[in-house]
Amino acid sequence: MRQVVHSIIEAAAYDDNGSGTYRLGATAVTAPTPVDTLDGGTQRTDTDEPITVYFVTNGDERDGITSEGWSAYERSQFMSALASISAVTDVTFVESTDANADFQVVLDSNELNNDGLLGYFYYPSGSSSSIGVFNASGFGWDTNGLQAGGLGFSTIVHEALHGMGLAHPHDGSSILSGLDPSASDFPFGDYGDYDLNQAVYTIMSYNGGYNEAPSSSFSYGDAAGPMALDIAALQEIYGANTTYASGDSFYELPDSNSANSGTGWLAIWDTGGDDTIGYTGNLDVNIDLRPATLQYEVGGGGFISAANGISGGYTIANGVVIENASSGSGNDTLTGNDSANTLSGNGGDDHLVGGTGSDTLYGNSGSDTVETESGTNTIYGGSGYDTLNGGSGADAIFGGSGNDTINGNFGSDDLSGGRGNDAISGGDGADRILGGMGQDTMTGGAGADTFIFAAASDSWADHADTITDFQVGIDFIDVSGFGTDFTLPSTLVVTDNGFDTTIEIDRDLDGTAEIAILVTGVTGLSTDDFIL
């Protein structure tokens, strides 16, 4: 949604003494979005064919700079950087030996040093050739820095995007909201509103990497391709690559900061399949499946997925759906999106947050907290003392082992405690509640609820479960799963004890109840309150 600027217009005579009839007109003005700030106002017009790239040879000159030639490795990494642009937009690049190619790129080791430039690239002019110059003595221009995630690789992508018509977010006809051009070090260290002015959101920023990650080096921790805002700007001009990553993809979070690991930041552009962002290590991680919103708000440039202490990971481009998240053995946070997600916390004390789709969430081992929104969700707590919260849909929640807290909240939910002494609350809706093994406390909440007892271990006589809010004539106690031909009072005895009721079941008719259920705050139960 675009932001609209509202103005108040008042008419008055020049000397405050005049009178007459005035006609006023006003035009609604839309403020630029973050993506709009990257539009340099020019574009290539010949992208129906591959853009040809000529590496200017040693001794040849372009733009007054004499090239010192390119090694095979430098050429290869340059083309890899261009491939990251082709991955997201409907443009391809091909190396050429034609000295009049579309892109003519110079590598120089001394003539740019006086200006401190890492490189520059001229904006496009229709189908005319564009010249780019790169500093072979600049920071990050070495074997490691030219890998994805290194400063050299990031410089190539940044400058090539100038050659495709993208601008910095801090200059041009519009700049990112919140930037202060009067600051002494502008634009360095000035992140603007919602910290959008950094490479993890747009590689066109002068602030490299991600300001909340550990310090990076020239060899890792920078953007490894166009980021979410860049992708949107490119696709507005040239269209999207609609076939890239169309199968089932697994995006693994990096586990180390290493000069030769290629650790850096990448915005995922994925066009299909059943996809996963995953991690298998021991660090705490955050995995967020929400795509960039492209607005001035949290998540405008994307939501971060990364391991704690690692200067690299992923955001997700606008329009992309990643379905699944799976973490390792740390204490992790996994957040879903609006689609049907599968979130797996695995080891550690994890926090899982479902989105608006019908999600399946696994806490697995550890004491986990699980939350859901709308949709029909399925939650498995696994082992550990879990807190499991349903949303507004008809959810199915299974506590597993451990003393769990289960809240159905809204909707008609199926809630099962599993092993352990669980606290189960149905909330609104007609809920089905099964305490399972252990001494459980069950609260139905609003609606016609059913409390289920299917085995003696569900409520042993000396460790009785408690129902806290049974509504006579509305709720039911279901003991049909025992497979017993119940009669009152021989096999099932209901006893009023002041304000409470005790239910005892003697399945083998030996005079000793094996099963007991305490119903607090209510008396006068009859066969009509049971499913036998």
CA angle 145, 151, 157 (to 5 degrees): 110
Q: What is the dihedral of CA 403, 409, 411, 414, to 10 degrees?
A: 0
- As a whole number of angstroms, the distance between CA 209 and CA 140 comes to 13
By C-alpha distance, which of 107, 87, 105 is closest to 96? Answer: 105
How close are the terminal C-alpha atoms of the chain, in Å? 56
By C-alpha distance, which of 173, 240, 171 is closest to 202? Answer: 171
Task: Read off the tokens for 192.
Answer: 């603007």
DSSP 385-416: S-EEE--SS--EEE--SS--EEE--SS--EEE
- As a whole number of angstroms, the distance between CA 431 and CA 448 comes to 7
Which of the residues are catalytic?
159
Q: Does the bond joining 32 to the residue before it have cis omega, within 30 degrees of 0?
A: no
Residues 6+ apart with CB under 8 A from 290: 299, 303, 316, 335, 336, 337, 355
Instruction: Report the Cα 228 to chain-centroid distance in Å.
Output: 12
By C-alpha distance, which of 280, 274, 277, 291 is closest to 256? Answer: 280
- As a whole number of angstroms, the distance between CA 46 and CA 91 comes to 10
Phi, psi dihedral angles at 123 (to 5 degrees): -65, 155
Instruction: Report the Cα 40 to chain-centroid distance in Å.
Output: 29
Extended strands (E) in 19-82: 29-30, 51-55, 61-62, 65-66
Strand pairing partners for 92? none
Radius of gyration of the chain from its Cα atoms, rounded to whole angstroms: 32
- As a whole number of angstroms, the distance between CA 384 and CA 403 comes to 7
For residue 478, the surrounding DSSP H or E stretch is strand 476-478
- As a whole number of angstroms, the distance between CA 39 and CA 51 comes to 20
Residues 6+ apart with CB under 8 A from 49: none
Per the CB < 8 A criterion, the answer to whether 465 and 491 are in contact is: no
By C-alpha distance, which of 424, 341, 339 is closest to 381? Answer: 424
